Structure 1
Amino acid sequence: MSLASHLAELQRKHGDIEREIDEALTHPSCDTLEIAKLKRRKLALKDEIEKLSSPTRH
């Protein structure tokens, strides 16, 4: 898998999780623990995207 396609996949997953969070927040019986897990996954994806996108990758 090329770097560009890997980044695109990570960005797609990030967007999917963002939509999941938004949808969960619209329900009055939203599970705050599940939302916290989703937010942590979203942040981990964001960190990975930034790491791979930086010119001086580690």
Structure 2
Amino acid sequence: MSTVDHIEALKTKHATLEQAIHQETTRPLPNDDALCSLKKRKLMIKDEIVRLTEPTSH
């Protein structure tokens, strides 16, 4: 898998997590533990996308 393909896959996962977070927050009595877990996973993916897209400084 190329870096571009990997980034696109991460962006898809990020969007999926965003939808899951939205669904959890809009349902009656959202599960705070689930929300925390989803948000952490989303942030980890975002950090990975940034790491892969930033130019390296040598």
- TM-score w.r.t. structure 1 length? 0.94
Distance 1:28 1:56 in 2: 45
Q: State the Cα distance separating 1:50 from its structure 2 match.
A: 0.1
Q: State the Cα distance separating 1:56 from its structure 2 match.
A: 0.7
Unaligned runs of 5+ in 1: none
Distance 2:26 2:54 in 1: 35
Q: How many residues align?
A: 57
Correspondence for 1:37 = 37
1:28 aligns with 2:28: yes
- TM-score w.r.t. structure 2 length? 0.94
Q: CA RMSD in A?
A: 1.0
Q: Give me the identity figure in percent.
A: 39
> Any runs of at least 4 consecutive aligned residues in structure 1 with deviations exceeding 2 A, and if so which?
none
Distance 1:26 1:50 in 2: 28
Distance 1:35 1:43 in 2: 12
Q: State the Cα distance separating 1:29 from its structure 2 match.
A: 1.7
Which string of whole-angstrom CA distances, capped at 9 and with x for unpartnered residues, describes residues 18-55 of structure 1? 00000110111210010000000000000000000001
